[in-house]
Amino acid sequence: MKQYDVVIAGGAMVGACLAIALDELTQHQLHIAVVEAVAADQHGHPGYDARSIALSHGSSRLLDAIQLWPALAKVATAIEHIHVSDRGHAGMVELSAQQLAVDALGYVIELADAGKIFHHQLATRPQIDLFCPAKVEHIERTQAEALVRLNTGKRLRTKLVVAADGATSHCCDLLHIGRDEHDFEQVAVIANITTAKPHQGQAFERFTKYGPVALLPMAQGRSSLVWCIEPQQQARIMALSDAQFLVELQAVFGWRLGALTVVGERHCYPLILRQSQRLVSHRTAVIGNAAQTLHPIAGQGFNLGLRDVMTLAEEIAAGVQRGADIGLPTVLGRYRERRLPDRQATVSMTAGLVSLFANDNPALVAGRNLGLMTMSLSNTLQAPLLRRAMGQVKR
């Protein structure tokens, strides 16, 4: 039975970030295990089959603090402009990095590229052991420690277990940490798109009758599509030929990037807000999508999860410095207290935007368009939304 200070269930971006942040912030004092079910694809996912993630400006600064940003920056596409509009109505907001005096409003990174960087980091840090492919099968907690059994038969002893294993966290289920769910009654269609006009670092979010459609700039002139549709449309949309799909998407998105010319492999998933009922339990902390899974309307999911990561890592590092047991409430309670306000504000903002923009009530349509037009003229009204969108949020 191997002894660790921290065992992290989940080795995707959030879990890997936590392991690296702990290693950096404690100056390599902790022995860390990362348990990941899916082996990294060393060949990546070339071209149109790769999914992407949006990083806020604030997230790039957090990643820089743990020495990850220099490598990620090489595979990141900068978002230099954001264009927000309401289909069929006059309301519109345009934001630019130049106007805000920053290098970029955010960045888009393909998950395959990020995965290679994170797995290289995990493999080359002596204090981190990666168990992959492997799953946490059983957790037993005593007063003094937690005992973790993997499906490979390996057993690990630790002071702290961190659940970073996604929206339907098996780790949380094992620990009887419940989750609340709200079905948005929308499905997100994900694909990569090529357009006739170059995107020039522009991101678009367009609100439609049934939900938002977003295009984010990617490498090689492509854009990453998130198209929210009604569940009853899913089978029909997914069955369309590529040419038919592009015609329907063009009608919804418009011609701001010219003709939509190529679409890659399509994926879809239901949009459900999930929140764990607790962020901490005895010798346990919950982070990332295991803690909360958001609607993609404002691109906040990973950015909120990264703020979980950095806050937990800071509190653990502070606990190590003062010689505290990092699995006890003196450390974990501070993580919970710091995260709850940001978590609630971000969940409320994203859910509120869904309610406001996925609604065809004439009074709401008029009100939101007036709001968009007013925001386009007023820096004061833009500021709160911008701060959260750019990740400039108190942790």
pLDDT for the residue numbered 384: 55
Which of 283, 340, 378 lies closest to 6, judged by CA? 283
- As a whole number of angstroms, the distance between CA 323 and CA 321 comes to 6
Q: Give the tens place of pLDDT for each residue, 125-181.
A: 999 999 999 999 999 999 999 999 999 999 999 999 999 999 999 999 999 999 999
How crowded is residue 191: how many other Cβ atoms within 10 Å of its Cβ?
24
Per DSSP (E only), the strands in the chain are 2-9, 32-35, 52-56, 76-79, 81-86, 92-96, 106-110, 128-131, 136-141, 146-150, 155-163, 179-195, 202-208, 211-217, 222-229, 260-263, 267-276, 280-281, 284-286, 292-293
User: Phi then psi for 321, rounded to 5 degrees?
Assistant: -60, -35
Which of 54, 43, 14 lies closest to 223, judged by CA? 54
Question: Which run of H or of E encompasses 63?
Answer: helix 57-65
pLDDT for the residue numbered 364: 43
Instruction: Assign domain 2-46+111-180+274-356 to its CATH superfamily.
Output: FAD/NAD(P)-binding domain (3.50.50.60)
DSSP states along 324-340 = --TTSHHHHHHHHHHHH
Cβ–Cβ < 8 Å for 332, 177: no
Cβ–Cβ < 8 Å for 276, 172: yes
- As a whole number of angstroms, the distance between CA 335 and CA 311 comes to 6
Q: Which three-class secondary structure state does DSSP give residue 44?
A: coil
Cβ–Cβ < 8 Å for 91, 369: yes
Q: In what order do the strands lie in the sheet with 76-79?
A: 52-56, 106-110, 76-79
Question: Which run of H or of E encompasses 124?
Answer: helix 111-124
Per DSSP (E only), the strands in 313-392 are none
Q: Give the tens place of pLDDT for each residue, 211-232.
A: 789 999 999 999 999 999 999 9
- As a whole number of angstroms, the distance between CA 83 and CA 301 comes to 20
Which of 338, 391, 309 lies closest to 25, judged by CA? 309
pLDDT for the residue numbered 365: 44
Q: What residues of the chain score a pLDDT lower than 50?
A: 42-49, 88-90, 359, 361, 363-378, 380-381
Label the pairing between strands 32-35 and 128-131: parallel
pTM over 0.85: yes
Say how many Å lie between the first and final Cα of the chain, rounded: 36
Domain residue limits, the chain = 2-46+111-180+274-356
Q: DSSP state, 27?
A: T
| CA atoms within 13 A of residue 261's CA, in its CB half-sphere | 10
